[in-house]
Amino acid sequence: MPEVPTTCFHCGESLAGRRLAWARLHDSDVAVCCQGCKAAAEMLALCGLEEFYRFRSAPSVKPQEPSAEWLLYDDPVLLDGLTRVEPNGRSAVLLIDGLTCAACSWLIGRSLQQIDGVVHASVNTATGRARVVWDGRKVAFSRLLRLIADLGYRPHIATVDAAYEQARAERRAILKRLAASGLGMMQVMMFAVAMYAGDMQGMDQTIRDYLRAVSMLVATPVMLYGGWPFFAGAYNAWRVRSITMDVPVALGLALAYGASVFNTWRHAGDVYFDSVTMFIFFLTVARFVEMTARHQSTSVTDSLSRTLPATAHRLNRRGDEESNGEDSVSDVLVAELGIGDRLWVRAGEIVPADGDLIHGCTRIDESMLTGEPLPVARGPGERLAAGTLNVAAPVQMRVAATGASTVLAGIVALLSRAQAERPRIAREADRRSSRFLARVLCGAVLVCGVWLIIDPSRAFAATLAVLVVACPCAFSLATLVAVAAANAALARRGVLVSHQDAIEGLAKVTRVVFDKTGTLTQGTVSVTGCTLAGALSETDCLGIAAALEAASEHPIARAFGRLQSAARPANDVQVVPGAGLQGTVGGARYRIGTPAFVLGGLPGAAANGPLHDDGAIVLGTDGGELARFTVGDSPRPDSARAVAALRSLGLGVEILSGDARGAVELVAEHCGISRFAARQSPGDKLRRMQALTAQGEFVAMVGDGMNDAPVLGGAGVSIAMGRGSALTLATADLILVGDSLAALPAAVALARRAKSIMRQNLLWAAGYNLTAMPLAALGWVPPWLAAIGMSLSSIVVVLNSLRLMRADAPTGRPRLPAVPTPPMLAKSRLEGSLP
C-alpha cells in the first residue's frame, strides 16, 4: 500500500484534513493539496521541468487563482510605458516574488523560453529580476505574466529601474577597465623585464627602442581607457578646489606617462610605462572591491519596493443605480489610483495603497511594517497601510495616500539613504588621507625644488617617486576592504550587515541585551500543555482540535496542525473572527477558541475555569468543556548554547522583555541568564539602556522588529532576527537571517578580528608611507620601485583583510536565503517540522 504523504508535493502545506488531489507526473502520482498545485505540478511535468523539485530549496508558492488582471498589460499605451522597444521585439524587466533559489530562476527562464515568440529570457537569482525580450506579434505580454503567475511566482513590472541599470552599467564598465588594464599591464611588464635585463647585460639600441615603442603602444590605451576615471575624478576635484586621492594619482600618471613618451621619442632617458600600467591596474582593482561592497546591500531595498501589487480592484459606482448600492469592479493600475478612490481588497491580497477601511472587518498581516507576526484585526474607520497583507476577509477601503507618499515608500527611501552612506571609520580614513594628500603634493613640489638646486638630472625621478610612493591607497583601502571582507564573512554565517558602522560597533560590545523573549524563543506558537476536563483522551481532543483548526490560517491553528494530523475531517466549519471555530467532527458538534466563545452561553461555565484567559484555548461541546490547551512559545534549541558562547567572549547577557514575569523567568532559566526584567515598556527599556551606557557599557540589543525601533535605536548596536520583517532592516544594524542565535557569538568574534585587522592595516599603511616617503625624497627609490612598493603595500592590506573571509565556515547548512539548499536538506527540514 503506498504511503500517504503528509504534505503537498508542490507547496509543502499540510494535507491533514484536506481532500487530496493527485497530480500525474511522468511515472508516478503525487499528492497535492489543491487544484492550483495540481495544475502547477502537471504543467512542470508536461514541460519536462520536474527536475525543479530536486533542486529547489524551499516549497513552492501556492499558485494564485487565474486572474484577468494580466490582460490589462496588453493595453498598447500601457505597454509603451512599461516596456522598451528593441530591434527584435519588446523587452521588460520583471521583479519576481517568491524567487528563492537558482532552481526557481532556471524554471522560470526555461518555461518562458519554451513559448513561441520569446526571443530571450534570463532570470537573475541574486537580484530577483527577469529580463524578457519577446516578439509582440507572436505572443501577448499578458501570456508571459500569466505563465509566471501560474508557476506560483508573482511578477511585477519594474517601472523605475534606474538604480539597478546604473549598478549594472557600473559593474560592467569597471570589469572592462579591469581586464583592459590587467592584460595591458602584463604585456608592458613583459617588455619591461626584457629592458631591465638589457640594462644589466647590454642590449641592442634598436631592440631597446623597439620595446619602448611597443610599450608605449600598449600603455596608451591602458592610460586613456583604464586611467580615465582617475583623470575625470581629479578634474572634478580640481573644479571644486578640493583634493581627493585622484589628484596625486592623476598627476603622477600624467607626469610618468608624459616623460616616458617624451623619452621614447628622443631615444634617451628612462621610461615608466610599466609603473603607469601597474599603477592603473591595482587602483582599478581597489575600485572594483569598493564597488562590490557598495552593491551588496541594494537587493534588500528591491525586495521592499516590489511588495506593492501592480494592479488594484477599483469600485465604480454605476451612475443612476446609486440607490441599490451596486458597484462595478474594474482592475486598474496602482499607479493610476487617486486619493478618494474606493478599492476592493480580497483576502490574500496585498493592500495597494494607504487608506481607511470603509466596509468589512478583517485581519491584516502587518509583519512587513511592524515585525508583528500575528495578524491584527481591523474594522471600519481603521487605517490600512500599503504593502500589508489582507489575510482574512474581503474589504473595501478608501485611498488616502498613494505612491511616494505611502509609509512603505518612506521606509524604502530611508533604507536607500542608509545604504548610500560610507562607514564612519572609512570616512575618517578619507578625511585623514585628504589632509595627508595635501602634504604629499607640497612635499613633491619641495622635493622637486631642492633636487633642481642639487642635481637637476635627478629631480624628475625623485618627484615622481614621491608622488607615487606616497599615494595613500593602502591607507584608504585599509578599512574599506576589511569591512567588505567582514561583511561577506558575516553573510556566510547568516548575518547581514545593514548599517556600515555595525562591524566596528560589534567589536566594541560589552553587553548583549535581548529585547524580547521572542528572540530567545522560536517565535512560533505551539501547543505547550493540555488539561483534560471531559471524557475524551488527550489524543482524541487534539485530533478534533486539529480537524477543526485545519480550516483556519491563524498561527494558533497551525500549531495544532503541526502537533497532530486530523483523525477525521471536520465538516461545516465556521470561522468566528477573533473568537474561534465551530464545526462537526464525526457527527458531533464542537467549538474551539477563547473560553468566552466556547463556554460563554453555557450554564456553570465559570466553574470550569476563568472565561478570560489569554493563553488558553478551550475545546468544548454544548455539554461543556472537554480540554483546555495552553499555547505558547518554546525556547530555540540553540539559545542556551549561544548565550554560553556570548559569556565566554566576556560579554554580559540580560533580558528586557515586555512579557509577563512567568514567561520571561522560564526563558531566562532555560538559557542561564540571571539578569532579567519583565513587563518592560519601551520607555523602561530605553532608560535601562541609557543607564548601562552611563556605566560605560557598549550595548548590543537583539530585537525582532520595527515596534522596538526606539529601543534598538538607543543601543550601540542593534541586531534583529531575520524572521521579524524586512522592515527591521531599516532600524537594525545587523540582521540574523538564519533565524538562529548561534551566529551571534560567531559574529562578535569575527567583528573583533575585523577590528584588529583594520588596526594592523592602518598601522602598516601609515608605517609604509612614513618610511618610504623620506627614502623617495632622497632619490633612493626609482619610480618603478615606488610603483611596486605602493602596489605591494595595497596588496598586503587586501590580503590581510581577506584572512577574514578564509576563516572556517560555521558548521551546519548555509544560512543565506539565496543559497540553494541541497534537496536532502530541504526534505529533512520539512520533516523536522513534524513531530
Partner 1 sequence: MSIVFVLIPVSLVLVGFGVWAFFWAVRTGQFDELDAAAWEILLDDPADPAVKGPQRKPYHKP
User: What residues line the site for partner 1 (CB under 8 A)?
Assistant: 48, 51, 55, 102-103, 105-106, 122-126, 168, 171-172, 175-176, 179-180, 183-184, 187, 191, 204, 207, 210, 214, 217-218, 818, 820
Q: Smaller CB distance to partner 1: residue 175 or 329?
A: 175
In whole angstroms, the minimum distance from the beta carbon of 175 to partner 1 comes to: 5
Q: Contact at 8 Å (CB) between 276 and 253?
A: yes
Q: Cα–Cα distance between 331 and 69 in angstroms, integer?
A: 6
- At residue 405, what are phi and psi to the nearest 5 degrees? -95, 5
Of residues 63 and 184, the one with the C-beta less far from partner 1: 184
CB 285 within 8 A of CB 792: no
Of 125 and 519, the one with the shorter C-beta distance to partner 1 is: 125
Check: CB of residue 243 under 8 Å from CB of residue 198. Answer: no
- Output 210 or 780, the one with its CB closest to partner 1: 210
Distances (CA, A) of 377 to 437, 556, 594: 61, 15, 16
Q: Which is nearer to partner 1, 807 or 816 (CB)?
A: 816
Only one residue has cell 558602522, namely 501
- Closest CB to partner 1 among 128 and 387? 128
Length of the chain: 835
- Distance (Å, rounded) from C-alpha 227 to C-alpha 385? 49
192/212 Cα distance (integer angstroms): 9
Please list the alpha-helical segments (H only) found in 202-245: 205-221, 228-239
> Is residue 445 within 8 Å of residue 778, measured between CB atoms?
no
Angle at the Cα of 804 from the Cα atoms of 799 and 808, rounded to 5 degrees:
120
Q: For cell 560590545, what's the residue?
A: 509
Cβ count near 385 (within 10 Å): 18
Q: For partner 1, give the closer residue by CB, 229 or 523.
A: 229
Please identify, using beta-carbon distances, which residue of 218 and 541 lies nearer to partner 1.
218
CB of 48 to partner 1, least distance (A): 4
3-state secondary structure 412-441: HHHHHHHHHCCCHHHHHHHHHHHHHHHHHH
Alpha helices in 715-814 (DSSP H): 728-731, 743-777, 783-806
Phi, psi dihedrals of residue 323, rounded to the nearest 5°? -60, -40
Work out how close the CB of 813 gets to partner 1 at its nearest, in angstroms, rounded to a whole number: 16
Whether the CB-CB separation of 634 and 522 falls below 8 Å is answered with yes
Least gap, CB of 207 to partner 1 (angstroms): 6
Residues 8/15, Cβ–Cβ less than 8 Å: yes
Question: In the structure grid, which three cell numbers stand for residue 62, read together?
Answer: 501556492
CB of 11: closest distance to partner 1 in angstroms? 21
Give 327's contacts (C-beta < 8 A, 6+ positions apart): 315, 316, 317, 318, 342, 344
| Residue closer to partner 1, measured from CB, 99 or 478 | 99
Q: Which long-range contacts (CB under 8 A, 24 or more apart) does 661-666 make?
A: 663/517, 663/632, 663/633, 664/517
Nearer to partner 1, 185 or 337 (CB): 185
Q: Record the cell numbers describing residue 294, joined without a space.
A: 557598495
Task: Specify whether the CB–CB gap between 734 and 498 falls below 8 A.
Answer: yes
DSSP code, position 9: T
Q: Which residues contact 140 (CB under 8 A, 6 or more apart)?
A: 74
Q: How far apart are CA 593 and CA 582, in angstroms?
A: 9
How many alpha carbons lie under 13 Å from residue 40 in its C-beta half-sphere? 30
Nearer to partner 1, 180 or 673 (CB): 180
Q: Is 80 a catalytic residue?
A: no
Amino acid at 379: G
Q: How far is the CB of 127 from partner 1 (least distance, A)?
A: 8
The CB-of-589 to partner 1 minimum distance in angstroms stands at: 52
Nearer to partner 1, 278 or 619 (CB): 278
Amino acid at 271: V
Report in angstroms how near the CB of residue 66 gets to partner 1 at its nearest.
26
Q: Note whether 626 and 619 are within 8 A (CB).
A: yes
Angle at 696 between CA 428 and CA 742, to 5 degrees: 80
Give the residue with the Cβ less far from partner 1, 189 or 358.
Answer: 189
Burial 798-815 (b: 16+ CB within 10 A, else e): bebbbebeebeebeebbb
CB 791 within 8 A of CB 278: yes
Q: Do 23 and 42 meet the contact criterion of CB atoms below 8 Å apart?
A: yes
The DSSP symbol for 708 reads: G
The answer to whether the beta carbons of residues 276 and 270 sit under 8 Å apart is: no
Return the amino acid letter for 190. Answer: M
Catalytic residue among 246, 341, 365, 515: 515
Q: Report CA dihedral (774, 779, 781, 787) to the nearest 10 degrees.
A: 90
User: What's phi and psi for 683, nearest 5 deg?
Assistant: -60, -45
Catalytic machinery residues: 515
